Structure 1
Amino acid sequence: MGLRPNPSQRQRRLGLELRRLRDERGLTATKAGGEIGLSAAHLNHIEAGRTAIQPVKLRALADVCGCKDERLIDALIAISQSNGRGWWSEYNHPPHNDDARDLAELESMSVRHRAFQWVLVPGMLQTAEYMRALFESGEPDASPEDQEAFIDFRLRRQRVLTEARPPEFHAVIHEAALRMEFAQRGVMERQIEHLIEMTRKPNIQVQLLPFRANVNQVRFTCSFDCYDSAVSELSTIYVEHPAQSPFVTDQSNLAQFSDAFTKLSALALPPVDVEAGSSIPTRRDSLGLIQHLLYDL
């Protein structure tokens, strides 16, 4: 079997984790590979995501590296055995790219999704007409066909929140996102109403971060998504960036982003609670601010 010319994020992540285990043990590729019957070149290809590793070899490598965490080992084996052929495989042509498909696969594997947005409603909570306004203003050179293809793909991604055994979804959205005027008034009204309606689902929680919140203590200037795995070491951060990979997997960075989200959540207003909001009109929470913004449009 030839080497993969373009490994997926899942395949690269498996290799990165195996490399991390080897580095933590202080082993060279020659030494670790020799212990399990693989050449250094073969192990390097595995660590780069360019070729697969058999479960028996993966267990042997974990043992050589001194890893005794069975939950982590089982999770790595599950990743290695996944063929990655979900619904996103049907979108294997332009305008869709590898990062988009990798993101959809990542969302399907996560047990919790935490999203922080400064200026936009998170993609998983957007309406089709809000997306259309977003693409028309942000991607003016895209053809109408490509814009509709982007919308179709994003709407398909959203289904993970309503299918069987959905992940938890927790969004912290800055007040600025609901005051942006790139979309017509009616579009924003319906988007805000949709946001409220989505919080009725037991797995979805939304908080608003008001302008008055002191976010300087968090020192984060970018929007990001935390995709939490059942095994915390395999969680992933997604940061949209035009010049580098949007996927962050380094353990220290994972902790930094997770801590930032926790602080942002603490600074935000209490979550939208439709039932509580109807009985406590003076309560200062996310629903109250959303309703004020809706009235103010």
Structure 2
Amino acid sequence: MAGERGRGWWSEYAGRLPSNFLDLAELEQVSTRLLTFESVHVPGLLQTEEHVRAIYAASVSAFSEEQIDHRTSFRLRRQRVLSREEPFSYDAVIHEAAMRVRVADRKVARRQLAHILEQSERPNISVRVVPFDIDGFTRIGNPMLYAEGATPRLDTVLLDNARGGIFVEAEDQLRRYRTVFDGVRSVALDAIGSRALIHRLSREL
């Protein structure tokens, strides 16, 4: 991300977490709107604590308990951006596949879905689900976060991959990824249909 990192709450984790973690927290904090698409994982800002801990406990990196604690507390602290006083919108499009992945047991999965439903009722949060039965959907492997700044020139896209996050700020690429997100959202269920699907998935657990 361009520019020198500011001094925010995330600086407390410097030296304990990778720098890209801190970059992401700052990006979320300075944004006015976040648009995210996830195909395999529940978005971090919507994860419950037990869900987060289960992810890190099962990681191939074999984190220590202290490292898991740091990563979990950091992710939960990031979630406060959803409740900040400044105007802020969060639009999440999640593939049904991510809703069905059990990072732990059925109870944890059920509580995670209940948390998503609860968050989706908040006025500044939109949760839309892309169901499995959509024809011709080819973007299941392309998670992304589009962060809108106070002006369009401050927009940033974060692309997630196995080597970590890649920040994109070039104007032509931003337009392309905004088009990608709009396309994904166009095939997702509306808010009512999405909540109905999440309720059904929870009953099936």
TM over 0.5: yes
Matched, 1:91 2:83: no
Q: What letter corresponds to residue 85 of structure 1 in structure 2? A: R
> Residues of 2 paired with 1:293 and 1:220: CA distance?
19
Q: Calculate the TM-score normalised by the size of structure 2.
A: 0.94
Give 1:100-249 correspondences, 5 Å limit.
Answer: 100-139=21-60, 141-216=62-137, 219=139, 221-243=141-163, 246-249=166-169
Higher helix share goes to which structure? Answer: 1
* SS of equivalent residue, structure 2 residue 127: strand
Equivalence for 2:203? 295
Give the drift of 1:214.
2.9
Q: Equivalences for 1:70-81 in 2 at 5 Å? A: none
Deviations 1:94-128 (A, max 9, x none): 2x121111111111110100110001110000000
- Secondary structure of 1:132's aligned partner: helix
Q: Equivalents in 2 of 1:111, 1:100: separation in Å?
A: 19
Percent of residue pairs bearing the same amino acid type: 37
Counterpart Cα distance in 2 of 1:258 and 1:91? 31
What is the deviation of 1:248? 1.0
* Cα deviation 1:227-257 (Å, max 9, x = unaligned): 0112112200111224475111111111111
Conserved in 2, the CA contact under 8 Å of 1:10 and 1:102?
A: no
Cα pair 2:10 2:22 within 8 Å, conserved = yes
| CA 225–89 in structure 1, closer or farther in 2 if over 3 Å, else same | same
Cα deviation, 1:156-210, whole Å, max 9, x if unaligned, reads: 0000111212420000000011111232100011000000111121100000100
- SS of the counterpart of 2:77? helix
Q: Which residue identity is paired with 1:288?
A: A
Structure 1 stretches of 4+ moved >2 Å: 218-221, 241-245
Give the number of the structure with larger relative contact order, counting CA–CA contacts within 8 Å between residues 6 or more apart: 2
What is the deviation of 1:286?
A: 0.5
* Residues 92/235 of structure 1: CA separation in 2 closer, same or farther (3 Å cut): same
| 1:189–1:245 CA distance, 2 compared to 1 (3 A) | closer
Whether the 8 Å contact between 1:224 and 1:240 is mirrored in structure 2 is yes
Secondary structure of the corresponding residue to residue 11 of structure 1: coil
CA separation of 1:244 and 1:150: change in aligned 2, threshold 3 A? closer
Query: Residues 118 and 188 from structure 1, CA distance in 2 versus in 1: closer, same or farther, beyond 3 angstroms?
Result: same
In structure 2, the gaps of 5 or more residues are: none
Which letter does structure 2 place at the counterpart of 1:255? R
Alpha-carbon spacing, 1:207–1:180, altered in 2? closer, same or farther (3 Å): same
Q: Write the distance in 2 (CA, Å) between the matches of 1:120 and 1:91.
A: 24
- Aligned position for 1:11: 3
Give the structure with the higher percent strand: 2
1:256 aligns with 2:176: yes
Aligned partners of 1:84, 1:125: CA distance in 2, in Å?
25
Q: Is the 8 A contact 1:124 1:154 kept in 2?
A: yes
Taking the aligned partners of 1:202 and 1:236, their CA distance within structure 2 comes to: 24
Instruction: Answer with 1 or 2: which has the greater Rg.
Output: 1
Q: TM-score, normalised by structure 1?
A: 0.66
For 1:157 and 1:219, locate their aligned partners in 2 and report how far apart those are by CA, in whole Å: 26
Verify the 8 A CA contact 2:103 2:109 in the aligned structure 1: no
